[in-house]
Structure 1
Amino acid sequence: MVEATAPVADTMTVYHCDSWVSRLSAAEDAAIQEAVSELWAYAAVPAETVGGAALVTAPVAMPRALPFAEQARRAADALGGALGGKPIDAAVVHAHVGLLGGIPALRNMRPDARLFVTEHATFLDRMLAEPDGRAGYAEVLAACEAFFVVGDELRQQLAEAFPEHEAKLKLIANPIDFDVPRAEPVTELRRWLFVGGLIERKGVRWLLEAFAACRADDPSLTLTVVGTGELNGWLTERAAELGVADAITLTGALAPEQALELMREHDLLVHPSRYETFGVVIIEALAAGMPVLITRSGGPEQTLAGIEADAGELVEIEDAPDALIAGYQRLRGRFPSGLDQAHARAVLADRYGYGAVARSHQAAWFASSYSGQTR
């Protein structure tokens, strides 16, 4: 987001409240909070980051399982410490996520500054379920000029919770880089790629079972899994049971640049998630020139509206691999003539490319008043 939008501002500074998470007793937590606060003065020295923006990183001592509102309060205190008690010196402040970014921004901005917020959290419902979390969202919504969401499902959740602020809820896209072309076009759908957390919500179990079934018909298939999570051990054990361990590469967590490079080297993104507010990795894969086999998990139906068949195959969510297996067979049967990757990529670049998203932010941030709705 910073890389995309920094060029439309004269100056941009990113304040990152970096959570240092661990399991602590109350006494340990108090001691570490005091020690971490001594670092805030050093955090005030900015470093250069993408797009020519400056980056200030403030450490936040964050025991596990804190209520969301308490996490936001600690982040606000850390930001205030990094600022030396002075307000953020900017006429426009944009917070990333409504509670954990919005509260620190609101507590540390100038009285005359205009506040904007972007929300994309898949766990929004959990934050709103906490009374203090819900109160924090209400405070941020009341203070902000516009509250951007990346998909209709998030907007619906917030509109139902805060109908009095519905007019402030606007659609705006996550920006995707479309500038790095693929060296060679995809010619076969044999090298599968998954990028995401190895957790239940991402459909990792379905992915492995579907891959094993499809590989039984075509032993040339391979699967690269990028990410880490609670199902890492299960994935290794189950792959061995299914006899496909030699065809699977587990990379663990990778830097974004490395993951994007793998997208330009593989043939097919398989992403069987149960729920996505937007689905950045799906658009990144298509930007990298790779077809997708994905579930109708919320965000993709919206982001790929009108180009589903050109982009790949969307299947229904099931508690079994059958839909993925059938979807792969259909996709392989109509590849390549039944897809139009160039058209899908062009449409998505117009919707979610850096230029499009930057113009949307510029129109919001620097207009005398803002009432538009944009993607």
Structure 2
Amino acid sequence: MWTGFFSKSGTGIAEERHQNRRACTDVPLLAERNSKHPDRPYGFAKYRQSGLDIYAWHGMYFFPRFPFIDIDCIRWVCAGLKAFKHYIRENGLPDLIHAHCMNYAGILAFKISQKYGIPYVVTEHSSTITRGLIRPHQWQPMEKAAAHAAARLAVSRHFAHVLQHKYGCEWQYLPNILGGIFNRPFEQREKNNKPHFVFCTVSHLRRLKGHDVLLTAFARALAQCPQLRLNIGGSGQEEQRLKQQAADLGITHAVTFLGALQPEAVLDLMRNSDAFVLASRTETFGVVYIEALSQGLPVIATRCGGAESIVSDGNGYLVPVDDDDALADALIKMYEHHSDFEPARLRENCLNEFGENAVIGRLIGIFRQAIAEYGKKIPVKYSGLTKIRTRRRSRRQYK
């Protein structure tokens, strides 16, 4: 049994955990779910989702938020500890905990480590740090959890540098893993006879993703290259405003809003496009970039933090954040020089760096090193836990 797993939220994190499961003996998920409705479930629950065991603790919001006390963190950690007790009753202690996001999962991993003597590794995905959304009183438990982690991983090189400066300790770069369906083999479709050159973009429609800048830039590029088209996948609070912006710019004939898309639909969209573009204002990584590259699409991205670890001269173009002129020039350049990018090579390079085998192999090496080093300095007070560690796992059948 190699690892426990903790996550506050995020479908991208859940997808990565699903990939990690293929390489680890046991990868359970602990989750805490709160509700304001008294008729909702309360207490421990265990269920299976996508073939994965989930140990959850359902709680209630009894108290309002306080400006100087993080009640949410206290409640989340307490719930996680309760769920973890149920886990070890059935499985014994894991050899290692892998926490995704320091706040609150890293703090929970630290508490469990202190109580049970288990090493933990933290992978940080959250942009709350780069966006300045962490409140002053939240830093102390986060810094303590970071200091005691066996390894600290960041999903981009730029993000690792930011975290190292914030925490004052070393962070390693380890990218996110390319999702399962994007690893499927495919034959590149012939696109030379298409009447239009199609850009696609996929994300939540919110200000951070920079769709307002993209529409302005696309309008300028379209004026010079009428063959251009833009398909926008995703939904969100900015949707109606963006549709109105497209109408005001007079480009509705060339821009299509597709709404929220399931992964299969995203895959189909990319396979029927010529290039990918996203004008994000901030990203810690940007999974959608590697998804596009895996389908042989060159990428236009902004220097927003995460993209710099993915996009280079060999697979696309980088432009400054909020620079619609530079973005318009990049759209035109991509249209005129698209033949410079070989789809098969884009896909091969993407899989070599971000595919399951590449990333999981490195992650397992980090896990092994963390377990080995922790074993050399495990305190005496934890020696009595041997019986729990060697306890036979309870095997239940799930329908």
What are the equivalent positions in structure 2 for 1:116-135 lying under 5 Å apart? 116-125=121-130, 129-135=134-140
Match of 2:77 in 1: 76
- Which whole-Å CA distance do the structure 1 matches of 2:60 and 2:292 have between them? 35
Match of 1:333 in 2: 336
What are the equivalent positions in structure 2 for 1:1-375 lying under 5 Å apart? 1-18=16-33, 29=36, 32=37, 38-41=41-44, 43=45, 45-49=46-50, 52-59=51-58, 61=60, 69-83=70-84, 89-108=93-112, 111-125=116-130, 129-163=134-168, 166-167=169-170, 169-177=171-179, 178-185=182-189, 187=191, 190-304=197-311, 308-319=312-323, 321-336=324-339, 338-367=340-369, 368-369=371-372
- Which whole-Å CA distance do the structure 2 matches of 1:209 and 1:128 have between them? 29
Q: Is the 8 A contact 2:233 2:257 kept in 1?
A: yes
Match of 2:8 in 1: none
- Which whole-Å CA distance do the structure 2 matches of 1:216 and 1:206 have between them? 16
- Which whole-Å CA distance do the structure 2 matches of 1:335 and 1:277 have between them? 27
- Name the CA shift for 1:326/1:364 in 2 (closer, same or farther; >3 Å): same
Structure having the higher Rg = 2
Ranges in structure 2 where 5+ consecutive residues have no aligned partner? 1-15, 375-399
Q: Structure 1 residue 13: deviation in Å?
A: 0.7
Q: Is the 8 A contact 1:2 1:53 kept in 2?
A: no
Provide Cα deviations, 1:61-97, integer angstroms capped at 9, x if missing partner. Answer: 5699887943332322333344466758322111110
Q: Structure 1 residue 324: deviation in Å?
A: 1.4
- Name the CA shift for 1:345/1:139 in 2 (closer, same or farther; >3 Å): same
Equivalent position SS for 2:123: strand
- Which whole-Å CA distance do the structure 1 matches of 2:207 and 2:190 have between them? 29
Which moved further from structure 2: 186-195 or 322-331?
Answer: 186-195
- Which whole-Å CA distance do the structure 1 matches of 2:333 and 2:71 have between them? 49
TM-score of the two chains, using structure 1 as the length reference: 0.81
- Which whole-Å CA distance do the structure 1 matches of 2:294 and 2:273 have between them? 13
Q: Structure 1 residue 190: deviation in Å?
A: 1.7
- Which whole-Å CA distance do the structure 2 matches of 1:70 and 1:186 have between them? 56
- Name the CA shift for 1:5/1:203 in 2 (closer, same or farther; >3 Å): same
Q: Structure 1 residue 175: deviation in Å?
A: 0.5
Q: Structure 1 residue 138: deviation in Å?
A: 1.1
- Name the CA shift for 1:186/1:71 in 2 (closer, same or farther; >3 Å): farther
Q: Structure 1 residue 126: deviation in Å?
A: 5.3
Equivalent position SS for 1:8: coil
Q: Is the 8 A contact 1:310 1:340 kept in 2?
A: no
Q: Structure 1 residue 60: deviation in Å?
A: 5.2
Equivalent position SS for 1:101: helix
Which moved further from structure 2: 118-127 or 326-335?
Answer: 118-127
Q: Structure 1 residue 183: deviation in Å?
A: 4.1
Among the aligned pairs, what percent are the same residue? 26
Q: Structure 1 residue 206: deviation in Å?
A: 1.2
Equivalent position SS for 1:245: coil
TM-score of the two chains, using structure 2 as the length reference: 0.77
- Name the CA shift for 1:266/1:93 in 2 (closer, same or farther; >3 Å): same
Q: Is the 8 A contact 2:34 2:59 kept in 1?
A: yes
- Which whole-Å CA distance do the structure 2 matches of 1:251 and 1:19 have between them? 32
- Name the CA shift for 1:108/1:60 in 2 (closer, same or farther; >3 Å): farther
Q: Is the 8 A contact 1:127 1:133 kept in 2?
A: no
- Which whole-Å CA distance do the structure 1 matches of 2:190 and 2:278 have between them? 18
Equivalent position SS for 2:307: helix
Q: Is the 8 A contact 2:96 2:119 kept in 1?
A: yes
Provide Cα deviations, 1:138-165, integer angstroms capped at 9, x if missing partner. Answer: 12113311111112332223222332xx
Provide Cα deviations, 1:105-156, integer angstroms capped at 9, x if missing partner. Answer: 3334561211111002122145674222111211211331111111233222
- Which whole-Å CA distance do the structure 1 matches of 2:129 and 2:59 have between them? 21
Q: Is the 8 A contact 2:282 2:304 kept in 1?
A: yes
Equivalent position SS for 1:135: helix
Q: Structure 1 residue 256: deviation in Å?
A: 3.2
* Total equivalences in the alignment: 347
- Which whole-Å CA distance do the structure 2 matches of 1:218 and 1:66 have between them? 54
